């Protein structure tokens, strides 16, 4: 049975045959192209086909296996296969390059294998895939959540090793030179480290030895001092039992049961005891409180001159100068509109930076006006309380505020003492003149001058209030400032304020003026205890004589069984005047004899308060070699005018701010009872006013007043064991020899403490003892043996 073929079936078969013939022709064409193409092209095509197959069907497995390591390893493998198939001579000639590049590729792959890839990344756990992990980790294994520093270090060591191999194989000569240089550097570092350790160990051992010696000397000194005190107390007890219980008349007619000898153990002023002295060359030396020892008082009594006699002057009716001779200040200042305009500019300039503030307080002063800023809130709304604006944010915009106000300098006070505001002191466009009379005409001054022992008018504060002080409570003041800043005018205001309110029976002056022009106008007033000193050599002699005077006053207080001059004057009929020492330029004195001047000033400052001796020292060079640590420690009240740098401000006030002052009497005043300085415009005094006050006192008449006994013999210029300055026949040599009889060793620091002298003096004594054969030769840092 035969089947019939339909026309539709025959057409399909014909189409299939045509397609088969076309495919065969295409395959033959491709085969012909491949056969006729160069082998290099066939290599590239094969690589492309392999890459396409791996990407389409094996992408996940390939990514997990090699990850991003495929890039460095592929860049090495493709050229190697290419030259291996078509030009093997290149591989043989460049074998170093092949091995070096392989090591470099493995190092890169290992580095990628250290870092973990993000989760679900195509490269698996790490960027380098399993190959990178094997290079950097095997046989160790760790997870991304459990890895230690040692495991990381081992992995990076492998990578570094592969890099070293690549460098060594690629260039053996360069690697040899690099290795030798690295070895030398390591050797030098080891030698220097070892030498440093040896030096530090030696210094530490020397420090331990010196510390132990210092402690031993301190203990021996303390034991000897206690023994001396006990022996002295026993001798006084025997003397008291012999003399009986006789009473001694006190000044003013009051009787006391305590004799003059017993008065040596007077009660010490607790405030004065705060001022202490340490020997600078021996920080382990015991502290000496600011009162003389009984031996010093006795030694002062042996050489002191008779006490000044003021009996004739007390009978004379002294008249104070008329305040009307002082000039009245001219009116000035800024208006309320200027204050409101400045306040608005400050608020707007801070609001431009997103800082919310409000001006809640304004204090108008003669030179500057203080605007009190209250910090606002940041991000505050009905739903949220917000955050308070930080004070540091306001302080950081100092230059922006200065630009908005067009002012050269601003000073911040954060916070204002006693107020919850941040103070900005803005200079006034038209400053107000401040004269001495503008301070002395205030009710505050009139109430203060009668109760204060040494009232001093300084000026007006930043709020227009009078700034006045009692020099007896300061008790010493240090004044510093650059040339022309108002330093000498401040000294004139202090002197004039005192002589306008106190008679020569109440206060005497000793003026030291190396510049010869600042204090010499006061020559001839009865308050001067000695003519104005202008020679630096004579100034040192006068300072030594003042120490004599101070020690004599201590004997007078001791005999009256009182502890300070105020208590003595309350009881005695013949009162002791206060003594104010003014030094206009400390730097000139320090250039002549820094060590001696410093020692004398510190001595007067430490012991002077109880006897009514007060110092006012001024300098225009506030450097550390002029204003030393000992001087700063004993001058607690300080005034700083405009200085050149912040370093000078820190030297005087221990804080910045004085470098931003405006000059012409603008100052920062830091008394003893305030932790922060306050801004003051100093009182100005014309030469005509000074001349008028001085002329009034010169024409006041009155009897001759006692003057300071100035000893021009250096050997007797200062009482006590530190007074003589001879060279070969030093009067202290006998005391030093007596000291060696109770000691096995002797050091310079022990001489300083026991004889209370400075380091140069003690070192010279030690040399004389060695020349005399009393002590042996010394070694650095060790005491000398007593022969």
**Phi, psi (5° rounding) for residue 569?**
-65, -25
Number of residues written out for the chain: 787
**In this predicted model, what pLDDT tens digit does every residue of 521-556 receive, in sequence order?**
999 899 999 999 998 888 888 999 999 889 989 988
Q: Is the pLDDT of residue 235 over 70?
A: no
Most confidently modeled of 286-290, 629-633, 716-720? 629-633
Query: What is the Cα Rg of the chain in Å?
Result: 46
Q: In order of start, what are the domains of the chain with their CATH numbers?
A: 32-170 (no CATH), 336-377+388-427 (3.30.980.40), 452-698 (3.40.50.300)
CA distance 555 to 306: 11
252 φ/ψ sector (left φ>0, alpha ψ -120 to 50, else beta):
left
Of 113-122, 223-232, 416-425, 603-612, the range with the lowest mean pLDDT is: 223-232
CA separation, residue 476 to residues 175, 309, 345, 454 (Å): 73, 26, 42, 12
Of the two residues 206 and 287, the one the predictor is more confident about is 206
* For residue 444, cis peptide bond before it (omega within 30 degrees of 0): no
Say how many C-beta atoms besides its own lie within 10 A of residue 450's C-beta: 8
Decide if 783 contacts 775 (C-beta within 8 A). Answer: no
Q: Which whole number is the average pLDDT over 450-457?
A: 91
Q: Where are the alpha helices (DSSP H) in 442-501?
A: 443-451, 487-499
Please say if the pLDDT value at position 285 is more than 60: no
Q: If DSSP codes are grouped into helix, strand and coil, which group holds residue 168?
A: helix
Residues 333-349: what's their mean pLDDT? 87
Tell me phi and psi for residue 152, to 5 degrees: -60, -45
410: which 2 tokens? 């601003």
Distance CA 287, CA 46 (A): 95
Chain CA centroid to CA 683, Å: 31
Q: Considering the chain, what is the average pLDDT of its residues? A: 79
From 667, 633, 630, select the one nearest 649 (Cα to Cα). Answer: 667
> Helix (H, G, I), strand (E, B), or coil: what is residue 222?
helix
Closest CA to 343 of 371, 381, 311: 371
In this prediction, residues 209-228 reach a mean pLDDT of: 68
Phi, psi of 23 (to 5 degrees): -65, -40
117-121, 478-482, 610-614: least confident range: 117-121
With H, G, I as helix, E, B as strand and everything else as coil, classify residue 609.
coil
pLDDT of 634 > 60? The answer is: yes
pLDDT interval class at 712 (50, 70, 90): low
Here the contacts of 528-532 (C-beta below 8 Å, separation 24 or greater) are 529/579, 529/707, 529/708, 530/707, 530/708, 530/710
Whether residue 558 has pLDDT greater than 80: yes
Alpha helical stretches, state H, 244-310? 294-303
pLDDT over 90 percentage in the chain: 15
Determine the pLDDT at residue 5. 56
Alpha carbons 458 and 366: distance in angstroms, whole number: 13
How open is the CA angle 534-628-708, to the nearest 5 degrees?
35
Contact 653/640 with Cβ under 8 angstroms?
yes
Alpha-carbon span 43 to 51, nearest angstrom: 12
Whether the per-residue pLDDT at 618 is higher than 90: the answer is yes
Nearest to 551, CA basis, from 608, 510, 473: 608
Q: What pLDDT digit, counting tens, does each position of 179-206 carry?
A: 888 888 988 899 899 888 988 888 888 7
Percent of residues, the chain, with pLDDT higher than 70: 80
The strand pair at 422-427 and 368-375 is best described as antiparallel
Average pLDDT, integer, range 369-393: 79
Parallel, antiparallel, or unpaired: how do β-strands 678-682 and 578-583 relate?
unpaired
Buried b (16+ CB within 10 A) or exposed e, 409-424: ebbbbeebeeeebbbb
Omega before residue 139 within 30° of 0, cis: yes
Identify the H or E element spanning 114. Answer: helix 95-114
Query: What mean pLDDT is predicted for residues 641-650?
Result: 89
Do β-strands 507-512 and 578-583 pair in parallel, antiparallel, or remain unpaired?
parallel
Indicate if the pLDDT at residue 3 is higher than 60.
no
pLDDT(244) > 60 = no
**φ, ψ for residue 742, nearest 5 deg:** -110, 10
Mean pLDDT on 658-686: 89
Q: Whole-angstrom Cα distance, residue 303 to residue 717?
A: 10
**What's the pLDDT score for residue 58?**
75
Q: How far apart are CA 603 and CA 589, in angstroms?
A: 16
Provide the sign of the torsion angle of the four alpha carbons 490, 491, 494, 497, taken in this order: negative
Q: E strand or H helix at 512, and its extent?
A: strand 507-512
Q: What is the pLDDT of residues 116-175, one digit of tens each?
A: 777 666 667 788 888 888 888 887 777 766 677 888 888 888 889 888 888 888 888 888
Are the beta carbons of 565 and 610 closer than 8 angstroms? Answer: yes
């Amino acid at each position: 049975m035969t089947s019939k073929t339909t026309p539709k079936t025959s057409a399909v078969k014909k189409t299939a045959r045509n397609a088969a013939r076309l495919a065969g022709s295409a395959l033959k064409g491709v085969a012909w192209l491949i056969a006729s193409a160069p082998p290099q092209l066939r290599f590239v095509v094969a690589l492309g086909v392999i890459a396409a197959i791996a990407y389409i069907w094996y992408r996940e497995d390939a990514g997990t296996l090699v990850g991003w390591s495929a890039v460095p390893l592929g860049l090495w493998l493709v050229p190697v296969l290419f030259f291996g198939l078509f030009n093997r001579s290149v591989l043989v000639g460049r074998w170093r390059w092949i091995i070096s590049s392989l090591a470099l590729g493995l190092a890169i792959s290992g580095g990628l294998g250290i870092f973990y890839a993000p989760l679900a990344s195509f490269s698996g756990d790490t960027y380098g895939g399993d190959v990178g992990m094997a290079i950097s980790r095997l046989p160790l294994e760790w997870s991304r959540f459990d890895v230690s520093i040692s495991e990381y270090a081992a992995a990076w060591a492998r990578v570094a090793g592969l890099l070293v191999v690549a460098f060594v194989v690629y260039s053996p000569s360069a690697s040899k030179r690099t290795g030798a240089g690295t070895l030398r550097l390591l050797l030098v570092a080891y030698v220097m480290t070892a030498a440093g350790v040896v030096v530090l160990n030696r210094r530490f051992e020397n420090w331990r030895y010196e510390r132990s010696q210092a402690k031993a000397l301190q203990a021996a000194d303390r034991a000897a001092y206690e023994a001396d005190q006990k022996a002295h107390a026993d001798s006084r007890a025997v003397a008291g039992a012999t003399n009986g219980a006789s009473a001694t008349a006190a000044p003013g007619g009051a009787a006391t049961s305590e004799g003059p000898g017993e008065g040596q153990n007077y009660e010490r002023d607790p405030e004065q005891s705060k001022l202490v002295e340490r020997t600078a060359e021996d920080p382990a030396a015991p502290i000496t409180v600011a009162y003389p020892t009984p031996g010093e008082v006795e030694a002062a009594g042996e050489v002191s001159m008779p006490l000044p006699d003021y009996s004739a002057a007390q009978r004379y009716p002294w008249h104070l100068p008329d305040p009307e001779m002082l000039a009245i200040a001219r009116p000035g200042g800024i208006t309320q509109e200027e204050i409101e305009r400045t306040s608005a500019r400050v608020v707007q300039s801070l609001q431009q930076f997103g800082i919310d503030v409000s001006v809640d307080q304004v204090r108008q002063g003669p030179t500057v006006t203080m605007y009190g800023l209250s910090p606002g809130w940041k991000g505050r709304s009905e739903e949220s309380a917000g955050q308070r604006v930080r004070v540091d944010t306001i302080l950081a915009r100092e230059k922006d505020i200065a630009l908005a106000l067009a002012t050269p300098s601003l000073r911040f006070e954060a916070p204002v003492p006693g107020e919850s505001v941040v103070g900005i002191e803005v200079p006034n466009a038209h400053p107000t003149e401040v004269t001495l009379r503008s301070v002395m005409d205030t009710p505050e001054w009139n109430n203060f001058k009668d109760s204060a022992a040494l009232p001093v008018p300084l000026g007006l504060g930043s709020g227009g209030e009078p700034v006045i002080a009692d020099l007896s409570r300061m008790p010493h003041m240090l004044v510093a400032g650059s040339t022309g800043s108002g330093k000498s005018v401040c000294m004139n205001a202090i002197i004039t304020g005192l002589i306008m309110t106190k008679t020569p029976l109440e206060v005497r002056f000793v003026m030291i003026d190396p510049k010869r022009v600042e204090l010499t106008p006061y020559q001839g007033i009865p308050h001067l205890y000695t003519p104005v000193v202008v020679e630096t050599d004579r100034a040192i002699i006068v300072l030594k004589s003042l120490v004599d005077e101070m020690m004599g006053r201590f004997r007078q207080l001791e005999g009256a069984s009182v502890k300070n001059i105020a208590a003595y004057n309350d009881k005695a009929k013949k009162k002791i005047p206060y003594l104010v020492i003014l030094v206009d330029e400390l730097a000139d004195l320090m250039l002549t004899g820094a060590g001696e001047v410093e020692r004398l000033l510190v001595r007067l400052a430490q012991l002077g308060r109880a006897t009514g001796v007060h110092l006012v020292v001024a300098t225009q060079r506030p450097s550390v070699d002029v204003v030393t640590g000992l001087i700063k420690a004993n001058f607690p009240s300080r005034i700083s005018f405009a200085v050149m740098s912040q370093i000078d401000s820190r030297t005087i006030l221990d804080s910045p701010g004085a470098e931003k002052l405006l000059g012409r009497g603008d100052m920062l005043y830091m008394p003893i009872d305030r932790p922060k300085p306050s801004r003051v415009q100093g009182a100005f005094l014309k030469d005509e006013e000074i001349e008028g006050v001085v002329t009034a006192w010169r024409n006041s008449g009155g009897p001759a007043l006692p003057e300071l006994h100035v000893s021009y013999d250096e050997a007797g210029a200062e009482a006590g064991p530190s007074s003589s300055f001879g060279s070969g026949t030093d009067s202290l040599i006998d005391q030093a020899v007596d000291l060696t009889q109770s000691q096995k060793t002797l050091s310079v620091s022990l001489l300083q403490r026991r004889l209370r002298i400075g380091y140069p003096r003690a070192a010279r004594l030690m040399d004389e003892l060695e020349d005399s054969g009393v002590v042996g030769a010394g070694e650095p840092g060790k005491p000398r043996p007593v022969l």
